[in-house]
Amino acid sequence: MSFALSRRGFIGSAAALSATPMASPMAAYAKSDAAANAPVPVNPLVKQRADAQVFRHDDGNYYLTGSVPEYDRLVLRRSKTLAGLATAKEAVLWRHEKTGPRSGFIWAPELHLIDGKWIMYFAAGPSGGGDDVFRIRTYAVICDGNDPMTGKWSVLGEFQSPWDSFNLDSTSFVHKGVRYFAWAQREPGIDTNSNLYIAKLESPLKLGSKATRLTVPTLDWEVRGYKVAEAPAVLHRNGRLFMTYSASATDARYCLGLLTADENADLLDASSWTKSPQPVFVTNTQTSVYGPGHNSFTVDEKGRDILVYHGRDYEAIEGDPLFNPDRHTRVQRLYYTADGTPDFGVPVGNGPMPERFASASNPKLLLAHDGTRVIAGNPALPQTQFRQLPGRAGAKSVMLSPILMPDHYLVANKDGSISLQPDSQSADFALRSQFVRFDEDGRGTRFVAISIPGKALGISDGQVKLVSSRTSGAYFNAD
């Protein structure tokens, strides 16, 4: 069975080779009890794993690989749940060699199942110091069995790139029955560190068509520190193919750009792809995530799209950012604008993955905030994302905190209003910031206030306030 699985791209499962962009490729999983009761992932999902790939295989397992701080080995872990990857046992598939072209840095692994064989692409260079260690080329290892965690892996060979020059971050995907290969490379005669390319793939290491240059880093946000376009990742949704890529230096300036093509366009024609003029995902000081990038796409247990990326939780780096170990694997929901374009929002920060809460009686009104003012509306995505944290009034109590103000919490006031307040450490705050969450099939989610019996967080008359806990205004659709 041959289909596309990749660190950077998510097109679908084996049954979805003939693309159906509006349907979630994992919708079947959403009907299971396991999906409904899956644990909430906590960020960072896995510490010190950069260039992260997470995907859900059709065996129901999640797989994760990424660069390790030592850059000396290829690793893989597996879990039945997305959250479980945090503690899943990690297998070492292959280690760099003692001498030769694969004896130095090992970067950016990516796992695929191609023609029934497990293949892992990676970038490597020779050891020995000096500029030679950055003689980075793309290679692949292959598994001799059906289980990538337990099979024996050996070197398949080197990617036959168009030029003998720096190249890395290879991905493969299938669209309309055709397998493609996308990667980053320094092209002779172009003064950049790397550009993005695409071609058809004839075999795991051989192109089946002439390479097409998709984009060259020229915009100000693509050339900060270094002139970089790397790590392509492909998502097919809403009649289009979206290709994210990473740009600039790997410190806090690292960010994601976006190319877009119509699903029926010739993907090997560079004019089919449109570059967004601004980055789509950048450092955010309010959530304390710096240098987000090198992403992939997957789905959660309910079939909803998930953005996977790495980022640091501090800005100042001692020494070369390349050797800083604290690029952690992170995950968050990927939402869409009204026209079907991905809305990446901002990196959501450390802690449980947040949710959004739309009024069950008026879905256009979401629980949101404008600074410290709590509002009902649909402002920018980050203003509608709230993290549920354990409460202080027993096992069932919870607190709600906005991702942009992680030191503030929703508080039920005596006059029935709702406000955002910092934790005063007082007994009064501890009481008024506590809610009990009820998820009711067919009706939605309620947050009943502990401080005022019979009242719940709700939306009424276009405002967020305390309402009777059994009225329609007390119910939200959580997403």
Rounded to whole angstroms, the Cα distance separating 387 from 437 reads: 13
Q: Give 108-137 pLDDT, tens digit per residue.
A: 999 999 999 999 999 999 998 888 888 999
Q: Give 389-422 pLDDT, tens digit per residue.
A: 999 877 789 999 999 999 999 999 999 999 999 9
**Which tokens belong to 166?**
């720096």
Query: Residue 27 above 50 pLDDT?
Result: no
Which residues of the chain form CATH 2.80.10.50? 357-478
Q: Could you give the angle at the alpha carbon of 197 between the alpha carbons of 343 and 180, nearest 5°? A: 80
Task: Catalogue the long-range contacts made by 393-397 (C-beta closer than 8 Å, 24 or more residues apart).
Answer: 393/430, 393/431, 393/434, 393/450, 396/436, 396/437, 397/434, 397/435, 397/436, 397/450
Q: Could you give the angle at the alpha carbon of 351 between the alpha carbons of 347 and 352, nearest 5°? A: 95
Confidence of residue 474 (pLDDT cuts 50, 70, 90): very high
User: Is there a contact between 155 and 100 (Cβ–Cβ < 8 Å)?
Assistant: no
pLDDT of residue 132: 85
pTM of the model: 0.93
The mean pLDDT of 201-225, rounded to a whole number, is 98
> What is the residue type of 15?
A
Q: Give 166-201 pLDDT, tens digit per residue.
A: 999 999 999 999 999 999 999 999 999 999 999 999
**15 φ, ψ (degrees, to nearest 5):** -80, -5
Which residues of the chain form CATH 2.115.10.20? 14-352
Rounded to whole angstroms, the Cα distance separating 152 from 155 reads: 10
Q: Say whether 370 is catalytic.
A: no
Rounded to whole angstroms, the Cα distance separating 180 from 209 reads: 10
**Which tokens belong to 337?**
């604008």
User: Is there a contact between 443 and 475 (Cβ–Cβ < 8 Å)?
Assistant: yes
Host H or E run for residue 430: helix 427-432
In 3D space, the residue among 143, 148, 141 whose CA is nearest the CA of residue 55 turns out to be 148
| Range list of β-strands (E), 192-273 | 195-203, 206-207, 212-215, 229-237, 240-247, 255-262
In 3D space, the residue among 383, 377, 373, 386 whose CA is nearest the CA of residue 418 turns out to be 373
Q: What is the mean pLDDT of the chain?
A: 92
Other CB atoms within a 10 A radius of the CB of residue 14 amount to: 14
Q: Say whether 230 is catalytic.
A: yes
Domain 357-478 has CATH 2.80.10.50: yes
The mean pLDDT of 267-282, rounded to a whole number, is 98
Q: Can you name the residues that pair with 172 across neighbouring β-strands?
A: 181
Nearby residues of 424 by Cβ (< 8 Å), 6 or more positions away: none
CATH of 14-352, one of 2.115.10.20, 3.40.50.720, 1.10.1740.10, 3.60.40.10: 2.115.10.20
Host H or E run for residue 34: helix 33-36
Query: Residue 32 above 70 pLDDT?
Result: no
Rounded to whole angstroms, the Cα distance separating 312 from 331 reads: 13
- Active-site entry in 110, 169, 187, 230: 230
Rounded to whole angstroms, the Cα distance separating 107 from 68 reads: 8
The mean pLDDT of 305-326, rounded to a whole number, is 95
Give the β-pairing of 153-158 and 167-175. unpaired
Confidence of residue 8 (pLDDT cuts 50, 70, 90): very low
User: Is there a contact between 411 and 419 (Cβ–Cβ < 8 Å)?
Assistant: yes
| Unique residue bearing structure tokens 């950069």 | 50
Query: Residue 33 above 60 pLDDT?
Result: no
